Amino acid sequence: MERVKKLNGRPKLKEGQRSKFINARFTENEYKEIAELERELGISKTELVRMRVLSDAKKTIVNSKELIKFLDAAGAEMGRIGNNINQLAKHANTLQLKGALNQGIIEHFNKLLEDYILVQQNFEVALRKIIRAMGS
């Protein structure tokens, strides 16, 4: 009787063999999060970490919590600026009805309003870029 060689595991790779090792430590909560992703996605922890690190290697890493806090604060500030503009416009209308509105004040207000609109447009463009970068 001829003896059959028992195969152990998958065949050895000729190219692309992974021989380098990186050791990483995680907190209990981080490890639980990775384990949950492993269960949800059906891939190993190693493959999950490898995909995450290598696919995003050239992208900027952003702390999303800090970014959201910053964007929230910036949006609130834009809202306050809008309220201030409305109050100034109401005051200017009141002065105009009394005939006490100076032409220099009108020109200065219009210039500030143009500057604000430009800043708001640039802010919107920056937000769109951030959203696109986060989506890809």
- Residue 2 pLDDT > 90, yes or no? no
Q: What is the pTM of this model?
A: 0.48
SS3 state of residue 41 = helix
pLDDT of res. 99: 87
Domain extents in the chain: 26-58, 64-135
Write out pLDDT tens, residues 27-41.
999 999 988 888 887
pLDDT band per the 50, 70, 90 thresholds, residue 60: low
Could you tell me if 118 and 111 are in contact, meaning their C-beta atoms sit under 8 angstroms apart? no
Mean pLDDT of 38-62: 75
pLDDT of res. 29: 94
